[in-house]
Structure 1
Amino acid sequence: MFHKSKAVFYSRLLFVFILIGVFLTLMMLLHNKHYLMFSFMVLLCSILPAYWKFEKQPLTTQTLMFVAILIALAVAGRVPFAALPSIQAASFVIIVGGVSLGPELGFVTGSTTALVSNMFMGQGPWTPWQMFAWGLMGLSAGLIGMTKLKKSLIFMIIFGGVWGFLFGWIMDLWYALQYVSPMTLKSFILAFASSALFDLYHGLSNIVLIALLYRPWEKLFTRLDRKYRFLPTKQNKGMD
């Protein structure tokens, strides 16, 4: 029964990724027109896994409020540092939120953070790609949160550092596909290499924040959940 539910989860997740891929491709074919519409399409896709998981066990008000608070914290951790490229706390909040809430709500937290924060920093054709990148970050953190690896600070530090580069590579892919012409192997590599320093800054900021704050935040969430029970049941067992 467990393996069957796991297979269903991954098959549904694959469907969501394919759907997002279709929307991102359509946006590029339309020369980035209607990017805001496609942003909301990506947001809808990110909500689907959570809807499927909780259709028989509705989310509590406390859980929804906690998700909203995490999104607000992630936005607050990004906007003030807009003048410092790739130096922000949004990714740290998304990672910790994903570990605590699980892959489905981690996906929602990440994608919504990009959409909401860009209301302050500026919307554009990059928004749906940022939504996908941060959503994937929250989802993968949620998968880690279902294992014992979340207890290893060293692993989480490495995880955050790697995601600093993965996020940048996803955005580099958008830039290369949209703006690099002619598309050759050399120009493709140069498009990725040009942002290497910013990706390094992103990875280092994740590493520092996780090293300093991951343990305190995890303990805080555990204590608050014992009192208010706002985390999904499966995650409670993993964190107690």
Structure 2
Amino acid sequence: VTTVVSNVFLGMGTWTFFQIFAWIIICLLTEILVDFYKKIKKDPSLLVMSIFAFLMGYVFGFIVSLEQLMIGGPGLFLAYYATGILFDTFHAVGNFCFYLVCAPILMKIFMKEIKVF
């Protein structure tokens, strides 16, 4: 939903498909991690999921940057990706911090909602 809403306001383009593809890959990786972790333990810890959210900031940036590979080849991709590493780092750190702070709060809210029904 975030991708669609931001693209409605900021404009849509070929990058929109790569954003959607990135979200699909992140959802699949999350499912794989959670399934693997549940075999070892009941639930992944908050720290493990925060680190995973951090890494997904880089995964998202990498996948979205692949658009430049399709448009201009490896040279454009490497230049584009290299200039975006700082942004991806901010994105990854933001993911880590927001997950660490917001996940416990949202889990309590969702658990209360589930118990009501």
TM range (shorter): 0.7 to 0.9
> How far is 1:150 from its partner?
4.4
Match of 1:81 in 2: none
Is residue 57 of structure 2 the alignment partner of residue 161 of structure 1?
A: no
Identity rate of aligned residues, in percent? 29
* Aligned-partner Cα distance in 1 for 2:34–2:54: 17
In structure 2, give the amino acid aligned to 1:189.
Answer: L
Q: Is 1:193 aligned to residue 82 of structure 2?
A: yes
RMSD value, Cα: 2.1
- Counterpart Cα distance in 2 of 1:132 and 1:190: 21
Question: 1:140 aligns to what?
Answer: 29
Q: Distance in 1 between matches of 2:26 and 2:77?
A: 24
2-structure distance, mates of 1:193, 1:200: 11
Compared CA separation, residues 150 and 131, structure 1 to 2 (3 A): farther
The normalised TM-score by structure 1 is 0.42
Deviation, structure 1 residue 145:
4.0
Aligned partners of 2:114, 2:31: CA distance in 1, in Å? Answer: 17
| Matched ranges for 1:192-231 at <5 A | 192-228=81-117
Do the aligned partners of 1:161 and 1:204 also contact (CA within 8 Å) in 2?
Answer: yes
Larger Cα Rg: Structure 1 or Structure 2?
A: 1
- State the aligned residue count: 113
Higher share of residues assigned helix: 2
> Deviating runs (4+, > 4 A) in structure 1?
none
- Report how far residue 117 of structure 1 moved: 3.0
Deviation, 1:179, is: 2.8
Query: Which TM-score applies when normalising by structure 2?
Result: 0.81
In structure 2, stretches of 5+ residues that fail to align are none
Q: Distance in 1 between matches of 2:44 and 2:107?
A: 9
Structure 2 residue identity aligned to 1:159: F
Q: Partners in 2 of 1:225 and 1:158 — Cα distance? A: 27
- Cα separation, partners in 2 of 1:152 and 1:128, compared to 1, 3 Å: same
Structure number with greater CO (CA < 8 Å, separation at least 6) is 2
**Per the alignment, do residues 201 and 124 of structure 1 end up closer, same or farther by CA in structure 2, a change over 3 Å counting?**
same
Match of 2:17 among 125, 128, 151: 128
Q: CA deviation at 1:198?
A: 0.7
